[in-house]
Structure 1
Amino acid sequence: MATAVETLSKLERRLTLTFPLADVQAEVDKRLKVRARTAKAPGFRPGKVPMKMVAAQYGYQIESEVLNDKVGQAFSDATSENTLRVAGYPKIEPKTSEGAPEGFVSFEATFEIYPEVAIGDLAAAEVEQAVAAVSDAEIDKTVDILRKQRVHYHVKGEQGAHGDGGDPAAKSGDRVTVDFVGIIDGVEFQGGKADDYQFVLGEGRMLPEFEAAATGLKVSEAKTFPLAFPADYHGKDVAGKTADFTITMKRIEWAHLPEVDAEFARSLGVEDGDLAKMREDIKRNLEREVSSRTKAKTKDSVMDALIKACELDVPKALVEQDVERLAEMARQDMAQRGMDAKNMQLPKELFTAQAERRVRLGLILGEVVKVNKLEATADQVKAQIEDFAQSYDDPQQVLKYYFSDRSRLAEVEALVLEENVVKYVLSKSKVTEKAIAFDELMGNNRAQA
């Protein structure tokens, strides 16, 4: 038996669930008899343990199970009867004996319901559609990056097939090996000394003063110089302090980039070494990446427009669940990076805004899909997987990977569903094309890769 639904706020509701103690006890007795058939106790054969001993051993556990089952069933029946869509999990607490009729037990269930989502006039929504082009300049930059990824080094001064490297002094792009020692107030500090330390000048791996001191040195030359550690330096013991370093140059190697020739093309998978085919492959891959990234930016703009156009109250319970989900994902990511994050308590505030946006969008997307019948079709899902497979050596294995697991298919369905929503919103809203520079789209770090 349940009382009428109480409205506590826009989304929060409360029910009182009441049922006879006699029903509870009857179910407890029934389950105790079942348990008694296999119960064990010292001095008794299995199934022959006196019922009082069975009740003493298992009674509390079984009573808790019965109450949980009855409360759960009563709550489910009450919400179904009142056509309530429960968001998250209810908070269920027993009422005091004064709160229930004699011979009955009562529980209070406090919970939230899903909100009504009001979809605004999408014709008034403004969306930016990202566009970017792949030109010969981008292909050239990519070729340079691929060459740098295949760089090999030669000792300066040693004549080889590619020369001797020219000027024997260290310069940007050279790989150097040094010994160094640093002191602060006349004392060496932890982490301030190393032998045969190797790095590439110009990559920014070392502090600017350190790289500047190494630049221009020849093998066997040494230099002493002051180095001021930034106040926000990761080593707290030296942050904000100035050290005196001495570095000794041990080895200098110059970088030799492979020539853009047939051998280079073959190293990229072009079997016949044809440079035109190589550039076409690079262009095709870049266009695929550009398409993916511009779609992502356009989708972000669509989602922002939907949030502005739709009105709804977001259930706190769903946000809290997503905060926990995001925190767990963060812990898993840290664990993969080698950090001991299993029991780390991360502040909820780190994830609240992101969780609130995710939940809000999820509710909006669900309503837009339902109202406009934008569900993902089997053909769309298959086409999306086939598109994924194009960038792999064995497309059939990719198809098998997804179609062999329902949860993986569900992930693709979610992507297709979002794409359906994006296309729908673009067809209804005010769309403005926004050209994005290639390097900006791909990330500034690309040019330095």
Structure 2
Amino acid sequence: MQVTETLNEGLKRGYQITITAAELDEKVNAKLREAQPEIEMKGFRKGKVPMALLKKQFGPRVLGEAMQESVDGAMNEHFDATGDRPALQPEVKMDAGEEWKEGDDVVVTMTYEALPQIPEADLSSVTLERLVVKASAEEVEDALKNLAATAQSFDDKDGAAEDGDQVVIDFTGYVDGEAFEGGAAEDYPLVLGSGSFIPGFEEQLVGVKAGDEKTVEVKFPEEYGAANLAGKDATFECTVKAVKGPKEAEIDDELAKKFGVEDLETLKGQIAERLEGEYAGAARAVMKRALLDQLDGKVSFDLPPSLVDAEANQIAHQLWHEENPDHHGHDHGEIEVTDEHRKLAERRVRLGLLLADIGQKQEIQISDAEFTQAVMTQARQYPGQERQFFEFVQQNAQMRQQIQAPLFEDKVVDWIAEQADVTEKEVSKDDLEKAVEALDEE
């Protein structure tokens, strides 16, 4: 086997790999000899089929395997020897193409862009500011009021039902004069204005009183889940059993117990902690941008053009769709990549390579528990299909990489922040929101 360098310009590399016919033939023979003891063929005992016959019967298939293994082996030996790491999958072409025939040497050309050597970044001078926002008493009180609204009860009231009231009804639904399956219930508590019934249903119950009989006429939506009802006119014969007015829960220890804590003060503490956790997440994003801005000026190295091109195209495509939110498909014309897109792409690629290098040197890894938690978080976006999402992730290496990459980057950022000089600055919620908004403007 012979490897000859054909290209060495910047990060671009090219090599010609020659595997002689003799080497390839020996590999084929070795594979056949290894399989020979287990092969049976008519007219021969198991393990006694002559090599010449084996080669005639299985040679072409084994030859293809041997050729692929030889090329893969040559590539791996090359990368082990040179220390090169390709930025993207190397391009491999067989020089002879379809004209190659058995007995010829195999000559392939491999081209790729090597990842650059990343210089050591001086992290000793990194200084960061962590914004801290404390939850105000007013914010906690507002959150308590929202909780009380969700925990409201309903008490019997005199008079007509209004929007927001609860009516307790018996009903039976009819389509074309026939009662349909699933269209009846007794003592059903329906909050008027909740939108939980077919459009137009709840509005027709506004004004009813306990004891009233009411015929409600509606039309099922065209996209209704039950095909036999979709788009059909329907009537519901309703008997109003009770009308109840809403009563918000008192903000007291009893409310706290409804949410699983022992008293109101504990509930307030949990709300404040949750709010401050949300603020801390936003503050982390601000600090991370400041860190990346500092790292961007720490080192300089050549960037693989293919990575920059791919990133610039992705940025241009993403921004185009943000500017054209009604266009969800990819059946649009070519999207122009501007100098601004390329400048941002260069920054992202440079910082990505730097963070990857730091993470590798510090042996930072994503644990199975961290990865599983991230998958679970994304799976919640597909209610009812969580299992299918998990299976998709397990079978899709690219999807696993997409989930792992930001986890790894965040762990590296956290490690750098731990080494840096970090000061805390208490600010208002408005100041934090302005800092977050500024991230989108840059």
TM-score bracket for this pair, using the shorter chain length: 0.5 to 0.7
| 1:107 Cα deviation from its structure 2 partner | 1.0
Q: Give SS of 1:88's match.
A: coil
Q: Deviations over 1:113-136 (max 9, x none)?
A: 2257799999xx999966543112
Residue 276 (1) aligns with residue 265 (2): yes
Gaps of 5+ in 2: 225-230, 315-328, 338-342, 371-400, 435-442
Q: Mapping of 1:102-181 within 5 angstroms? A: 103-115=104-116, 131-152=132-153, 154=154, 163-172=155-164, 174=166
Residue 262 (1) aligns with residue 253 (2): yes
Task: State the match for 2:213 in structure 1.
Answer: 220
Paired residues of 1:151 and 1:256 also in contact (CA < 8 A): yes
| 1:47 Cα deviation from its structure 2 partner | 1.1
Q: Distance in 1 between matches of 2:171 and 2:431?
A: 41
Q: Distance in 2 between matches of 1:35 and 1:149?
A: 71
Q: Deviations over 1:292-342 (max 9, x none)?
A: 34324543565578679988456459969xx9xxxxxxxxxxxxxxxxxxx
Task: State how many pairs are aligned.
Answer: 355
414, 420, 423: which one pairs with 1:419?
414
| 1:359 Cα deviation from its structure 2 partner | 11
Paired residues of 2:283 and 2:432 also in contact (CA < 8 A): no
Tell me the amino acid that sits aligned with residue 269 of structure 2.
E
Q: Distance in 1 between matches of 2:121 and 2:59?
A: 56
Q: Deviations over 1:234-265 (max 9, x none)?
A: 78xxxxxx999977665555445444443433
CA gap of 1:415–1:368, structure 2 versus 1, over 3 A, is closer
Q: Mapping of 1:331-346 within 5 angstroms? A: none
Task: State the match for 1:54 in structure 2.
Answer: 54
Paired residues of 2:19 and 2:106 also in contact (CA < 8 A): yes
Tell me the amino acid that sits aligned with residue 367 of structure 1.
L
Paired residues of 1:365 and 1:421 also in contact (CA < 8 A): no
Paired residues of 2:254 and 2:263 also in contact (CA < 8 A): no
CA gap of 1:291–1:214, structure 2 versus 1, over 3 A, is farther
Q: Distance in 2 between matches of 1:112 and 1:60?
A: 34
CA gap of 1:67–1:439, structure 2 versus 1, over 3 A, is same
| 1:71 Cα deviation from its structure 2 partner | 1.0
Paired residues of 1:175 and 1:255 also in contact (CA < 8 A): no
Gaps of 5+ in 1: 155-162, 236-241, 324-345, 385-406, 442-449
Q: Distance in 1 between matches of 2:150 and 2:358?
A: 50
Q: Which moved more, 1:254-263 or 1:311-320?
A: 311-320
Q: Mapping of 1:217-366 within 5 angstroms? A: 217-218=208-209, 219-222=212-215, 250-251=239-240, 253-270=244-261, 273-296=262-285, 298-299=287-288, 312-313=303-304, 315-316=306-307, 361=348, 364-366=351-353
Paired residues of 2:132 and 2:425 also in contact (CA < 8 A): no
Paired residues of 2:171 and 2:184 also in contact (CA < 8 A): yes
Tell me the amino acid that sits aligned with residue 112 of structure 1.
E
Paired residues of 1:226 and 1:244 also in contact (CA < 8 A): yes
Task: State the match for 1:95 in structure 2.
Answer: 95
Sequence identity of aligned pairs in percent?
20
| 1:202 Cα deviation from its structure 2 partner | 4.1
Q: Distance in 2 between matches of 1:439 and 1:249?
A: 53
Paired residues of 1:222 and 1:246 also in contact (CA < 8 A): yes
TM-score w.r.t. length of structure 1: 0.57
Q: Give SS of 1:32's match.
A: helix
TM-score w.r.t. length of structure 2: 0.57
Q: Deviations over 1:330-382 (max 9, x none)?
A: xxxxxxxxxxxxxxxx9699xx99xx99997475144157579994789xx9x
Task: State the match for 1:396 in structure 2.
Answer: none
| 1:215 Cα deviation from its structure 2 partner | 3.8
Q: Distance in 1 between matches of 2:273 and 2:427?
A: 22
Paired residues of 1:173 and 1:201 also in contact (CA < 8 A): yes
Tell me the amino acid that sits aligned with residue 21 of structure 1.
A
Task: State the match for 1:367 in structure 2.
Answer: 354
Q: Deviations over 1:68-91 (max 9, x none)?
A: 222122223334544432123223
Task: State the match for 2:4 in structure 1.
Answer: 3
Q: Distance in 2 between matches of 1:422 and 1:203?
A: 47
Residue 33 (1) aligns with residue 33 (2): yes
| 1:50 Cα deviation from its structure 2 partner | 2.5
CA gap of 1:77–1:226, structure 2 versus 1, over 3 A, is closer
Q: Distance in 1 between matches of 2:148 and 2:431?
A: 20
Q: Which moved more, 1:56-65 or 1:196-205?
A: 196-205
Q: Give SS of 1:2's match.
A: strand
Task: State the match for 2:386 in structure 1.
Answer: none
CA gap of 1:130–1:427, structure 2 versus 1, over 3 A, is closer
